[in-house]
A and B are shown apart, each in its own frame.
Chain A
């Protein structure tokens, strides 16, 4: 089976690699600083810093949906993103109500909406594989 790698997919993978590298650097920097008692006005941008590359991944996925020239592959990616969104909203909504009624502890232990959206991309890829015979060979 020939794998499909359009220039748009190559750009997406490059953007993903760069953003994940920035994320790891930002995360380690922020965790280290807060463990050493970081506070004051600088604490705010430092706390937000790891979120910026994660938001960048959302941007990279949306750019992929715009830039991918193959209409069938693009449709698969759109479905994958929609399934990820539905999966994430479902998990977070159920979790929120469980917390509201004190059935599970508050806080998320670091597993926020982005984590479940990325997990949902995996669910979307499986769905595409089962129903369309391919996940687009990218994500």
Chain B
């Protein structure tokens, strides 16, 4: 998967730590998702979607990347 998390975060001038606190996850998680190293679970994807008030498909798209969780 690819995602627009970094762009959406930058638009709001949030640091990775700011976003992590809003999502109640670690900063490492935010970094791993942004860099495509980790694809979030569906519950976390819904939390991200709710936080940015956007549908999931406006944030994530199913193009392949090299996420750690997939191999």
Contacts and interface: CB of A to CB of B under 8 A. Distances in A.
Q: Is the interface of B mostly helix, strand, loop or mixed?
A: helix
A45 interface: no
Nearest to A73: B26
A120 interface: no
A39 interface: no
A86 B5 CA distance: 35
B64 interface: no
A131 interface: yes
B61 interface: no
Contact of A133 (B17, B24, B32, B69): B32
In the complex, which range does the number of interface residues on chain B fall in?
Answer: 10 to 19
A136 interface: yes
A137 B68 CA distance: 17
Contact of B35 (A1, A4, A70, A133): A133
In the complex, which range does the number of interface residues on chain A fall in?
Answer: 10 to 19
Nearest to B37: A132
Nearest to A4: B26
A103 to B, nearest CB: 36
A75 interface: yes
Interface in B5-52: 17, 24-29, 31-33, 35, 37-38, 40-41, 44
Contacts of B68: 75, 131-132
Interface string A1-26: 11010100000000000000000000
